[in-house]
């Protein structure tokens, strides 16, 4: 029988899907939404869980549309398993993250692609982007200020390491070089990466 646990995490509602069919999930969600519309309306929602792996992209999109119909805000986009690989708690993403997409890793996150302007990535450890980082990156999201952020082209809207925050200067670098961001005292420092 299908099961969906709903929990509050960082001002978002996380829907954790256990094994089931798209029809069972849709019926469960619709029942919960109808019985407590005020709780769900306007809430950011994140989909997680092993049950998502059994669904097609269209099935997940249908469940996300159901959430949108009840006034929720989708905070992540389901990524097919073939585009994600994990090693321990580290997460490897083999695609570009489009605007509006959010991903989280309980370890480090390595992205083989770009992170577009309004995309957001968070990791308990390091964030490594083998492409252009234009969005928001948060390394050490549980407070680890020894974490780093690396990108082949570092042009972020915002960087966070632990509890430190740095915003974009607005300057455009014509010939970008690989850069690494790290904390030093109360500041986030960015320097050209030299192996």
pLDDT in tens, 108-120: 999 989 999 889 9
What's the pLDDT band for 87 if we cut at 50, 70, 90? low
What pLDDT is attached to residue 74? 72
Least confident of 25-34, 65-74, 78-87, 158-167: 78-87
Query: Between 35 and 81, whose confidence is greater?
Result: 35
DSSP string, the chain: ---EEEEEETTEEEEEE-S--HHHHHHHHHHHHHH-HHHHTT-EEEEESGGGGGS-HHHHHHHHHHHHHTT-EE------GGGEEEETTEEEE-SPBPTT-EEEESS-EEESS-B-TT-EEEESS-EEEEEEE-SEEEESTTS-TT--EEEEEE--SEEEETTEEEE---PPPSS---EEEEEETTEEEEEE---
pLDDT for 138 equals: 96
User: pTM higher than 0.85 for the full model?
Assistant: no
Report the CATH number of the 81-192 domain.
2.160.20.70
């Amino acid at each position: 029988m299908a099961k969906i646990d709903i929990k509050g995490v960082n001002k978002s509602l996380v829907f954790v899907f256990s094994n089931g069919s798209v029809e069972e999930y849709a019926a469960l969600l619709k029942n919960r939404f109808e019985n407590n519309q005020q709780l769900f309306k306007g809430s950011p929602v994140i989909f997680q869980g092993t049950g998502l792996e059994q669904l097609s992209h269209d099935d997940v999109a249908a469940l996300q549309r159901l959430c949108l119909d009840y006034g929720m805000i989708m905070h992540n986009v389901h990524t097919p398993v073939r585009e994600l690989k994990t090693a321990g708690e580290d997460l490897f993403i083999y695609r570009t993250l489009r605007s509006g997409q959010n991903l989280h890793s309980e370890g480090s996150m390595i992205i083989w692609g770009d992170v577009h302007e309004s995309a957001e990535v968070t990791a308990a450890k390091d964030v490594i982007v083998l492409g252009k980082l234009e969005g928001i990156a948060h390394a050490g999201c549980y407070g680890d200020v020894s974490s780093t952020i690396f990108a082949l082209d570092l042009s972020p809207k915002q960087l966070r390491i632990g509890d430190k925050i740095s915003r974009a200067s607005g300057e455009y670098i014509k010939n970008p070089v690989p850069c690494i961001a790290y904390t030093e005292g109360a500041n986030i420092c960015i320097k050209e990466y030299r192996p």
